[in-house]
Structure 1
Amino acid sequence: MTLSIEEQRRIGAAIQTAEAKTSGEIVCVLARASSDYLAYATAWSALAALIAPWLLIAFTQFSVQRIFLAQILIFTALFVVSSASGLRHRLVPRRVRRAQAHRAAMEQFMIRGMARKANRAGVLIFVSFAERYVRIIADDGIADKVDPSVWQDAVEALLGHVSDGRIGDGFVTAVEKCGAVLAAHFPPGEQKDELPDRIFVI
Protein backbone atom coordinates (compact mmCIF):
# COMPACT_ATOMS: atom_id res chain seq x y z
CA MET A 1 0.00 0.00 0.00
CA THR A 2 1.64 3.21 -1.16
CA LEU A 3 0.61 6.61 -2.38
CA SER A 4 3.03 8.29 -4.72
CA ILE A 5 4.00 11.92 -4.21
CA GLU A 6 2.01 12.77 -7.32
CA GLU A 7 -1.11 11.05 -5.96
CA GLN A 8 -0.73 12.89 -2.66
CA ARG A 9 -0.48 16.17 -4.55
CA ARG A 10 -3.61 15.33 -6.55
CA ILE A 11 -5.53 14.64 -3.35
CA GLY A 12 -4.26 17.88 -1.81
CA ALA A 13 -5.34 19.80 -4.94
CA ALA A 14 -8.78 18.15 -4.81
CA ILE A 15 -9.18 19.21 -1.17
CA GLN A 16 -8.14 22.77 -2.01
CA THR A 17 -10.61 22.93 -4.93
CA ALA A 18 -13.47 21.52 -2.85
CA GLU A 19 -12.81 23.85 0.08
CA ALA A 20 -12.79 26.88 -2.22
CA LYS A 21 -16.56 26.35 -2.58
CA THR A 22 -17.37 25.97 1.11
CA SER A 23 -16.53 27.20 4.58
CA GLY A 24 -16.24 23.57 5.67
CA GLU A 25 -13.02 21.59 5.95
CA ILE A 26 -12.01 18.20 4.58
CA VAL A 27 -9.21 16.10 6.03
CA CYS A 28 -8.02 12.80 4.53
CA VAL A 29 -6.18 10.09 6.44
CA LEU A 30 -4.80 6.81 5.08
CA ALA A 31 -3.68 4.33 7.72
CA ARG A 32 -1.64 1.28 6.76
CA ALA A 33 -3.35 -0.54 9.66
CA SER A 34 -5.36 0.52 12.69
CA SER A 35 -3.38 -1.70 15.07
CA ASP A 36 -0.38 -4.03 15.01
CA TYR A 37 -2.56 -6.80 16.59
CA LEU A 38 0.54 -8.39 18.12
CA ALA A 39 -1.50 -9.37 21.18
CA TYR A 40 -3.43 -11.83 18.99
CA ALA A 41 -0.26 -13.36 17.55
CA THR A 42 1.04 -13.77 21.11
CA ALA A 43 -2.21 -15.30 22.34
CA TRP A 44 -2.50 -17.88 19.53
CA SER A 45 1.16 -18.86 19.90
CA ALA A 46 0.85 -19.20 23.67
CA LEU A 47 -2.30 -21.32 23.33
CA ALA A 48 -0.59 -23.72 20.94
CA ALA A 49 2.48 -23.89 23.20
CA LEU A 50 0.28 -24.71 26.20
CA ILE A 51 -1.56 -27.49 24.36
CA ALA A 52 1.55 -29.05 22.81
CA PRO A 53 2.97 -30.65 26.01
CA TRP A 54 -0.22 -32.63 26.60
CA LEU A 55 0.00 -34.09 23.10
CA LEU A 56 3.70 -34.86 23.49
CA ILE A 57 3.09 -36.56 26.83
CA ALA A 58 0.26 -38.64 25.36
CA PHE A 59 1.93 -39.71 22.11
CA THR A 60 5.70 -39.65 22.73
CA GLN A 61 8.27 -40.82 25.21
CA PHE A 62 10.00 -37.45 25.35
CA SER A 63 11.68 -36.42 28.57
CA VAL A 64 10.44 -33.42 30.52
CA GLN A 65 13.41 -31.40 29.29
CA ARG A 66 12.67 -32.19 25.63
CA ILE A 67 8.99 -31.38 26.07
CA PHE A 68 9.89 -28.08 27.69
CA LEU A 69 12.29 -27.28 24.83
CA ALA A 70 9.64 -28.25 22.27
CA GLN A 71 7.16 -25.93 23.98
CA ILE A 72 9.58 -23.01 23.71
CA LEU A 73 10.35 -23.78 20.08
CA ILE A 74 6.64 -24.10 19.18
CA PHE A 75 5.83 -20.74 20.77
CA THR A 76 8.77 -19.01 19.09
CA ALA A 77 8.11 -20.49 15.64
CA LEU A 78 4.39 -19.76 15.72
CA PHE A 79 4.93 -16.22 16.98
CA VAL A 80 7.43 -15.47 14.21
CA VAL A 81 5.08 -16.85 11.55
CA SER A 82 1.86 -15.34 12.93
CA SER A 83 3.38 -11.93 13.56
CA ALA A 84 4.09 -11.50 9.84
CA SER A 85 1.76 -8.66 8.86
CA GLY A 86 -0.22 -10.54 6.20
CA LEU A 87 -1.15 -13.42 8.48
CA ARG A 88 -1.40 -11.42 11.68
CA HIS A 89 -4.51 -9.55 10.54
CA ARG A 90 -6.25 -12.77 9.51
CA LEU A 91 -5.96 -14.14 13.04
CA VAL A 92 -8.10 -11.30 14.37
CA PRO A 93 -11.92 -11.59 14.21
CA ARG A 94 -13.47 -9.24 11.66
CA ARG A 95 -15.61 -7.45 14.24
CA VAL A 96 -12.49 -6.74 16.31
CA ARG A 97 -10.68 -5.33 13.27
CA ARG A 98 -13.66 -3.11 12.44
CA ALA A 99 -13.93 -1.90 16.04
CA GLN A 100 -10.22 -1.08 16.08
CA ALA A 101 -10.47 0.75 12.75
CA HIS A 102 -13.49 2.73 14.00
CA ARG A 103 -11.56 3.70 17.13
CA ALA A 104 -8.60 4.80 15.01
CA ALA A 105 -10.88 6.94 12.81
CA MET A 106 -12.35 8.71 15.84
CA GLU A 107 -8.86 9.32 17.22
CA GLN A 108 -7.76 10.85 13.93
CA PHE A 109 -10.81 13.11 13.94
CA MET A 110 -9.64 14.58 17.24
CA ILE A 111 -5.91 14.54 16.49
CA ARG A 112 -6.30 16.45 13.21
CA GLY A 113 -8.19 19.30 14.92
CA MET A 114 -11.52 18.70 13.19
CA ALA A 115 -13.54 19.58 16.29
CA ARG A 116 -11.84 22.99 16.63
CA LYS A 117 -13.69 24.50 13.67
CA ALA A 118 -16.06 27.21 14.91
CA ASN A 119 -18.82 26.23 12.48
CA ARG A 120 -18.35 22.50 13.22
CA ALA A 121 -18.38 21.73 9.50
CA GLY A 122 -15.40 19.44 9.25
CA VAL A 123 -15.40 16.09 7.44
CA LEU A 124 -12.81 13.36 7.92
CA ILE A 125 -12.29 10.78 5.15
CA PHE A 126 -10.53 7.83 6.75
CA VAL A 127 -9.21 4.62 5.18
CA SER A 128 -7.49 1.82 7.07
CA PHE A 129 -5.92 -0.30 4.36
CA ALA A 130 -5.23 -3.53 6.26
CA GLU A 131 -8.83 -3.72 7.47
CA ARG A 132 -10.33 -2.53 4.16
CA TYR A 133 -12.22 -0.04 6.30
CA VAL A 134 -13.59 3.28 5.04
CA ARG A 135 -15.30 5.81 7.26
CA ILE A 136 -16.50 9.38 6.74
CA ILE A 137 -16.99 11.29 9.98
CA ALA A 138 -18.85 14.59 9.84
CA ASP A 139 -18.73 17.06 12.71
CA ASP A 140 -21.96 18.16 14.40
CA GLY A 141 -22.49 21.25 12.25
CA ILE A 142 -22.87 19.28 9.03
CA ALA A 143 -24.10 16.03 10.58
CA ASP A 144 -27.15 17.87 11.95
CA LYS A 145 -28.07 19.04 8.46
CA VAL A 146 -27.66 15.88 6.37
CA ASP A 147 -28.75 12.30 6.75
CA PRO A 148 -25.82 9.91 7.40
CA SER A 149 -26.77 8.00 4.24
CA VAL A 150 -25.62 11.03 2.21
CA TRP A 151 -22.01 10.00 2.81
CA GLN A 152 -22.61 6.41 1.67
CA ASP A 153 -22.10 7.28 -2.00
CA ALA A 154 -18.62 8.60 -1.24
CA VAL A 155 -17.84 5.60 0.98
CA GLU A 156 -18.85 3.11 -1.72
CA ALA A 157 -16.90 4.95 -4.40
CA LEU A 158 -13.81 5.00 -2.20
CA LEU A 159 -14.17 1.31 -1.28
CA GLY A 160 -14.47 0.41 -4.95
CA HIS A 161 -11.29 2.26 -5.82
CA VAL A 162 -9.42 0.77 -2.85
CA SER A 163 -10.45 -2.73 -3.95
CA ASP A 164 -9.09 -1.96 -7.44
CA GLY A 165 -5.82 -0.70 -5.99
CA ARG A 166 -6.53 2.91 -7.05
CA ILE A 167 -6.45 4.54 -3.64
CA GLY A 168 -5.49 7.98 -4.96
CA ASP A 169 -8.43 8.08 -7.38
CA GLY A 170 -10.71 6.92 -4.58
CA PHE A 171 -9.72 9.76 -2.28
CA VAL A 172 -10.10 12.35 -5.06
CA THR A 173 -13.62 11.07 -5.83
CA ALA A 174 -14.60 11.02 -2.15
CA VAL A 175 -13.26 14.54 -1.63
CA GLU A 176 -15.30 15.80 -4.59
CA LYS A 177 -18.48 14.16 -3.31
CA CYS A 178 -18.00 15.38 0.27
CA GLY A 179 -17.10 18.84 -1.01
CA ALA A 180 -20.38 19.05 -2.91
CA VAL A 181 -22.34 18.22 0.26
CA LEU A 182 -20.43 20.81 2.28
CA ALA A 183 -20.87 23.47 -0.41
CA ALA A 184 -24.65 22.93 -0.40
CA HIS A 185 -24.92 23.60 3.33
CA PHE A 186 -21.88 25.75 4.15
CA PRO A 187 -21.15 28.18 1.32
CA PRO A 188 -17.89 30.14 1.36
CA GLY A 189 -17.73 32.75 4.09
CA GLU A 190 -15.27 34.41 6.41
CA GLN A 191 -14.26 31.10 7.96
CA LYS A 192 -10.54 30.61 7.31
CA ASP A 193 -8.97 27.44 5.92
CA GLU A 194 -7.41 26.31 9.19
CA LEU A 195 -6.32 22.78 8.35
CA PRO A 196 -3.65 21.57 5.87
CA ASP A 197 -4.89 20.66 2.38
CA ARG A 198 -3.15 17.30 2.24
CA ILE A 199 -3.56 13.61 2.98
CA PHE A 200 -2.01 12.20 6.14
CA VAL A 201 -0.44 8.77 5.66
CA ILE A 202 0.11 7.01 8.98
Structure 2
Amino acid sequence: MAALAEVSAVVAAHLAAAAHLEAGEMILSNTENQQVADAIHRAEIGTSGEILCVLSEADSYYPHVALGWAAAIALLIPYLLWLTGINIGMMMPPGWQPGHWEDAMTIAYHRFGLGYTVLPIALFIVTYGLTLVPPVSRFLTPQRVRRKHVHNSALEQFRAMGLRRTARRTGVLIFVSLSDRQVEVIADEGIYTRVPPDAWADAVAAIITGVKRKEIATGLVEAVERVGTLLATHFPPSAENPNELPDKVIEL
Protein backbone atom coordinates (compact mmCIF):
# COMPACT_ATOMS: atom_id res chain seq x y z
CA MET A 1 0.00 0.00 0.00
CA ALA A 2 1.32 3.45 -0.86
CA ALA A 3 2.41 5.56 2.03
CA LEU A 4 0.04 8.20 3.35
CA ALA A 5 1.10 11.48 4.91
CA GLU A 6 -0.76 12.75 7.91
CA VAL A 7 -0.78 15.53 10.42
CA SER A 8 -2.67 15.26 13.70
CA ALA A 9 -3.76 17.94 16.12
CA VAL A 10 -5.05 17.04 19.57
CA VAL A 11 -7.68 19.64 20.39
CA ALA A 12 -9.28 18.22 23.51
CA ALA A 13 -9.61 21.51 25.32
CA HIS A 14 -10.86 23.34 22.28
CA LEU A 15 -13.44 20.84 21.05
CA ALA A 16 -14.95 20.45 24.52
CA ALA A 17 -17.40 23.17 23.54
CA ALA A 18 -19.03 20.95 20.94
CA ALA A 19 -22.56 20.05 21.98
CA HIS A 20 -23.50 16.40 22.34
CA LEU A 21 -26.01 15.28 19.73
CA GLU A 22 -28.83 12.82 20.11
CA ALA A 23 -28.73 9.66 18.03
CA GLY A 24 -29.65 10.38 14.42
CA GLU A 25 -29.37 14.16 14.80
CA MET A 26 -27.42 15.97 12.09
CA ILE A 27 -24.21 17.68 13.11
CA LEU A 28 -24.64 20.41 10.48
CA SER A 29 -27.86 21.83 9.12
CA ASN A 30 -28.67 21.55 5.41
CA THR A 31 -27.65 25.16 4.95
CA GLU A 32 -24.33 24.61 6.71
CA ASN A 33 -23.66 21.46 4.70
CA GLN A 34 -24.23 23.44 1.53
CA GLN A 35 -21.87 26.19 2.70
CA VAL A 36 -19.06 23.67 3.18
CA ALA A 37 -19.88 21.94 -0.11
CA ASP A 38 -19.70 25.28 -1.94
CA ALA A 39 -16.35 26.01 -0.27
CA ILE A 40 -15.00 22.65 -1.45
CA HIS A 41 -16.24 23.34 -4.98
CA ARG A 42 -14.59 26.78 -5.05
CA ALA A 43 -11.33 25.43 -3.66
CA GLU A 44 -11.15 22.61 -6.19
CA ILE A 45 -11.59 24.96 -9.14
CA GLY A 46 -8.07 26.25 -8.55
CA THR A 47 -6.37 22.89 -8.04
CA SER A 48 -6.19 19.36 -9.33
CA GLY A 49 -6.46 18.16 -5.73
CA GLU A 50 -9.59 16.69 -4.16
CA ILE A 51 -10.90 17.66 -0.72
CA LEU A 52 -13.34 15.73 1.45
CA CYS A 53 -14.60 16.52 4.95
CA VAL A 54 -15.77 13.90 7.45
CA LEU A 55 -17.43 14.77 10.74
CA SER A 56 -17.79 12.06 13.37
CA GLU A 57 -19.95 12.42 16.48
CA ALA A 58 -20.06 8.68 17.21
CA ASP A 59 -18.91 7.85 20.73
CA SER A 60 -15.63 5.96 20.80
CA TYR A 61 -15.23 2.93 23.02
CA TYR A 62 -11.98 1.51 24.31
CA PRO A 63 -12.81 -1.92 25.81
CA HIS A 64 -9.13 -2.85 26.18
CA VAL A 65 -8.57 0.25 28.29
CA ALA A 66 -11.68 -0.54 30.35
CA LEU A 67 -10.38 -4.08 30.93
CA GLY A 68 -7.04 -2.70 32.09
CA TRP A 69 -8.63 -0.33 34.59
CA ALA A 70 -11.04 -3.00 35.83
CA ALA A 71 -8.24 -5.50 36.40
CA ALA A 72 -6.07 -2.91 38.14
CA ILE A 73 -8.86 -1.79 40.48
CA ALA A 74 -9.92 -5.37 41.23
CA LEU A 75 -6.37 -6.28 42.23
CA LEU A 76 -5.22 -3.10 43.92
CA ILE A 77 -8.20 -2.22 46.14
CA PRO A 78 -8.23 -5.52 48.11
CA TYR A 79 -4.45 -5.33 48.46
CA LEU A 80 -4.59 -1.74 49.72
CA LEU A 81 -7.33 -2.67 52.18
CA TRP A 82 -5.18 -5.53 53.43
CA LEU A 83 -2.21 -3.18 53.85
CA THR A 84 -4.32 -0.81 55.95
CA GLY A 85 -5.35 -3.68 58.24
CA ILE A 86 -8.99 -3.87 57.13
CA ASN A 87 -10.29 -7.43 57.38
CA ILE A 88 -12.20 -7.96 54.14
CA GLY A 89 -13.49 -11.28 55.40
CA MET A 90 -15.44 -9.53 58.15
CA MET A 91 -17.29 -7.59 55.46
CA MET A 92 -19.05 -10.78 54.43
CA PRO A 93 -22.49 -11.18 56.02
CA PRO A 94 -22.84 -13.91 58.67
CA GLY A 95 -25.31 -15.79 56.50
CA TRP A 96 -22.48 -16.64 54.09
CA GLN A 97 -20.76 -18.94 56.61
CA PRO A 98 -21.67 -22.65 56.49
CA GLY A 99 -23.90 -23.57 59.40
CA HIS A 100 -22.33 -26.98 59.93
CA TRP A 101 -18.82 -25.53 60.40
CA GLU A 102 -18.28 -25.01 64.08
CA ASP A 103 -14.58 -24.27 64.13
CA ALA A 104 -14.07 -20.50 64.43
CA MET A 105 -10.77 -20.60 62.52
CA THR A 106 -12.33 -22.53 59.66
CA ILE A 107 -15.19 -20.04 59.48
CA ALA A 108 -12.70 -17.16 59.48
CA TYR A 109 -10.77 -18.67 56.61
CA HIS A 110 -14.02 -19.28 54.76
CA ARG A 111 -15.10 -15.67 55.10
CA PHE A 112 -11.61 -14.47 54.22
CA GLY A 113 -11.67 -16.54 51.01
CA LEU A 114 -15.11 -15.29 50.06
CA GLY A 115 -14.10 -11.73 50.78
CA TYR A 116 -11.06 -11.87 48.53
CA THR A 117 -13.09 -13.58 45.81
CA VAL A 118 -16.36 -11.66 45.80
CA LEU A 119 -14.87 -8.18 46.30
CA PRO A 120 -12.44 -8.32 43.33
CA ILE A 121 -15.15 -9.74 41.06
CA ALA A 122 -17.59 -7.02 42.11
CA LEU A 123 -14.94 -4.33 41.68
CA PHE A 124 -14.04 -5.66 38.24
CA ILE A 125 -17.65 -5.69 37.01
CA VAL A 126 -18.49 -2.23 38.37
CA THR A 127 -15.25 -0.64 37.13
CA TYR A 128 -15.56 -2.20 33.69
CA GLY A 129 -19.11 -0.93 33.32
CA LEU A 130 -18.22 2.58 34.44
CA THR A 131 -15.17 2.86 32.21
CA LEU A 132 -17.27 2.04 29.14
CA VAL A 133 -19.35 5.20 29.69
CA PRO A 134 -18.06 7.55 26.92
CA PRO A 135 -17.14 10.59 29.11
CA VAL A 136 -15.42 8.35 31.67
CA SER A 137 -13.72 6.37 28.92
CA ARG A 138 -12.32 9.53 27.33
CA PHE A 139 -11.04 10.76 30.68
CA LEU A 140 -9.31 7.50 31.57
CA THR A 141 -7.97 6.63 28.13
CA PRO A 142 -4.39 7.85 27.54
CA GLN A 143 -4.13 10.58 24.94
CA ARG A 144 -1.80 8.54 22.74
CA VAL A 145 -4.37 5.73 22.59
CA ARG A 146 -7.10 8.15 21.55
CA ARG A 147 -4.80 9.71 18.96
CA LYS A 148 -4.05 6.32 17.46
CA HIS A 149 -7.75 5.44 17.40
CA VAL A 150 -8.67 8.67 15.61
CA HIS A 151 -5.77 8.24 13.23
CA ASN A 152 -6.90 4.73 12.33
CA SER A 153 -10.49 5.95 11.90
CA ALA A 154 -9.29 8.71 9.60
CA LEU A 155 -7.25 6.27 7.51
CA GLU A 156 -10.24 3.95 7.30
CA GLN A 157 -12.42 6.78 6.01
CA PHE A 158 -9.67 7.88 3.61
CA ARG A 159 -9.75 4.48 1.98
CA ALA A 160 -13.51 3.97 2.21
CA MET A 161 -14.30 7.33 0.57
CA GLY A 162 -12.06 6.62 -2.39
CA LEU A 163 -9.45 9.32 -1.85
CA ARG A 164 -6.71 6.87 -2.83
CA ARG A 165 -8.31 6.42 -6.24
CA THR A 166 -7.79 9.95 -7.55
CA ALA A 167 -5.87 10.13 -10.84
CA ARG A 168 -2.89 12.07 -9.51
CA ARG A 169 -3.09 10.78 -5.93
CA THR A 170 -3.91 14.26 -4.65
CA GLY A 171 -6.78 13.57 -2.26
CA VAL A 172 -6.98 15.32 1.12
CA LEU A 173 -9.25 14.25 3.96
CA ILE A 174 -10.21 16.61 6.79
CA PHE A 175 -11.40 14.32 9.59
CA VAL A 176 -12.97 15.78 12.73
CA SER A 177 -13.82 13.51 15.64
CA LEU A 178 -16.09 15.50 17.94
CA SER A 179 -16.42 12.65 20.44
CA ASP A 180 -12.65 12.21 20.80
CA ARG A 181 -12.05 15.95 20.34
CA GLN A 182 -9.34 15.53 17.73
CA VAL A 183 -8.68 16.59 14.15
CA GLU A 184 -6.66 14.78 11.50
CA VAL A 185 -5.69 15.84 8.00
CA ILE A 186 -4.73 12.94 5.74
CA ALA A 187 -2.98 13.65 2.44
CA ASP A 188 -2.33 11.09 -0.29
CA GLU A 189 1.03 10.10 -1.74
CA GLY A 190 1.09 12.71 -4.50
CA ILE A 191 0.81 15.51 -1.94
CA TYR A 192 3.05 13.88 0.67
CA THR A 193 6.10 14.16 -1.54
CA ARG A 194 5.73 17.93 -1.93
CA VAL A 195 3.88 19.31 1.09
CA PRO A 196 5.28 18.97 4.64
CA PRO A 197 2.86 17.75 7.31
CA ASP A 198 3.01 20.96 9.33
CA ALA A 199 1.62 22.87 6.35
CA TRP A 200 -1.88 21.80 7.42
CA ALA A 201 -1.63 23.50 10.81
CA ASP A 202 -3.58 26.57 9.67
CA ALA A 203 -6.46 24.42 8.49
CA VAL A 204 -6.56 22.59 11.81
CA ALA A 205 -6.43 25.90 13.68
CA ALA A 206 -9.45 27.13 11.70
CA ILE A 207 -11.48 24.10 12.80
CA ILE A 208 -10.41 24.57 16.41
CA THR A 209 -11.54 28.20 16.34
CA GLY A 210 -14.83 27.31 14.68
CA VAL A 211 -15.68 24.64 17.23
CA LYS A 212 -14.75 26.90 20.14
CA ARG A 213 -17.28 29.40 18.81
CA LYS A 214 -19.80 26.61 18.19
CA GLU A 215 -19.57 27.41 14.49
CA ILE A 216 -18.36 24.09 13.09
CA ALA A 217 -19.41 24.90 9.53
CA THR A 218 -17.53 28.21 9.58
CA GLY A 219 -14.40 26.45 10.82
CA LEU A 220 -14.69 23.82 8.09
CA VAL A 221 -15.19 26.45 5.39
CA GLU A 222 -12.07 28.30 6.50
CA ALA A 223 -10.11 25.04 6.71
CA VAL A 224 -11.20 24.05 3.21
CA GLU A 225 -10.18 27.45 1.88
CA ARG A 226 -6.73 27.16 3.44
CA VAL A 227 -6.26 23.62 2.15
CA GLY A 228 -7.42 24.79 -1.29
CA THR A 229 -4.91 27.63 -1.31
CA LEU A 230 -2.11 25.26 -0.35
CA LEU A 231 -3.09 22.74 -3.00
CA ALA A 232 -3.40 25.44 -5.69
CA THR A 233 0.20 26.48 -4.98
CA HIS A 234 1.62 23.00 -5.52
CA PHE A 235 -1.03 21.35 -7.69
CA PRO A 236 -2.60 23.77 -10.18
CA PRO A 237 -5.66 22.56 -12.11
CA SER A 238 -5.13 20.33 -15.10
CA ALA A 239 -6.62 21.04 -18.52
CA GLU A 240 -9.64 18.86 -17.84
CA ASN A 241 -9.63 19.08 -14.02
CA PRO A 242 -12.40 16.52 -13.41
CA ASN A 243 -14.27 16.50 -10.10
CA GLU A 244 -13.41 13.00 -8.88
CA LEU A 245 -15.10 13.12 -5.45
CA PRO A 246 -18.43 14.54 -4.27
CA ASP A 247 -18.28 18.06 -2.84
CA LYS A 248 -19.96 17.47 0.50
CA VAL A 249 -19.52 16.76 4.18
CA ILE A 250 -19.83 13.15 5.31
CA GLU A 251 -21.38 12.80 8.77
CA LEU A 252 -20.84 9.62 10.77
2:112 counterpart of 1:88? no
2:188 counterpart of 1:161? no
8 Å contact 1:28–1:125 — kept in the other structure?
yes
Gaps of 5+ in 2: 1-19, 22-26, 92-110
Decide which of 180, 198, 204 is 1:131's aligned counterpart: 180
The range that moved more, 112-121 or 136-145, is: 136-145
8 Å contact 1:121–1:186 — kept in the other structure?
no
Decide which of 23, 28, 41 is 1:4's aligned counterpart: 28
Q: In 2 relative to 1, CA 45–137 (structure 1 residues): closer, same or farther, beyond 3 Å?
A: same
1:80-128 per-residue CA deviation (whole Å, 9 max, x = no partner) reads: 2221101101111112222222222222222211111111121111112
Q: What is aligned with 2:237? A: 187
Q: What is aligned with 1:45? A: 70
Gaps of 5+ in 1: none
Decide which of 119, 124, 135 is 1:75's aligned counterpart: 124
2:147 counterpart of 1:120? no
**SS state at 1:19 partner:** helix
Runs of 4+ in structure 1 over 6 Å off: none
Q: In 2 relative to 1, CA 24–189 (structure 1 residues): closer, same or farther, beyond 3 Å?
A: farther
1:19-50 per-residue CA deviation (whole Å, 9 max, x = no partner) reads: 23332210111223684112211220122112
8 Å contact 1:34–1:100 — kept in the other structure?
no
2:63 counterpart of 1:59? no
What TM-score do you get using the length of structure 1 for normalisation?
0.86
Q: In 2 relative to 1, CA 5–54 (structure 1 residues): closer, same or farther, beyond 3 Å?
A: same
How far apart, CA to CA, are the structure 1 residues paired with 2:159 and 2:122?
A: 43
What TM-score do you get using the length of structure 2 for normalisation?
0.71
How far apart, CA to CA, are the structure 1 residues paired with 2:224 and 2:161?
A: 17
Task: Return the letter of the residue paired with 1:102.
Answer: H
Q: Larger Cα Rg: Structure 1 or Structure 2? A: 2
Q: In 2 relative to 1, CA 71–114 (structure 1 residues): closer, same or farther, beyond 3 Å?
A: same
Decide which of 101, 105, 108 is 2:154's aligned counterpart: 105
1:116-174 per-residue CA deviation (whole Å, 9 max, x = no partner) reads: 11111211111122332222222222333334333221111112222333222111111
Q: In 2 relative to 1, CA 148–50 (structure 1 residues): closer, same or farther, beyond 3 Å?
A: closer
Task: Return the letter of the residue paired with 2:245.
Answer: L
The range that moved more, 117-126 or 43-52, is: 43-52
How far apart, CA to CA, are the structure 2 residues paired with 1:28 and 1:201?
A: 9
Q: What is aligned with 1:29? A: 54
Aligned residues: 202
8 Å contact 2:43–2:225 — kept in the other structure?
yes
How far the C-alpha of 1:194 sits from its partner, in A, is 2.0
How far the C-alpha of 1:55 sits from its partner, in A, is 4.5
Alignment identity in percent? 39
Q: In 2 relative to 1, CA 148–49 (structure 1 residues): closer, same or farther, beyond 3 Å?
A: closer
8 Å contact 1:49–1:71 — kept in the other structure?
yes
Task: Return the letter of the residue paired with 1:181.
Answer: L
How far apart, CA to CA, are the structure 2 residues paired with 1:82 and 1:164?
A: 30
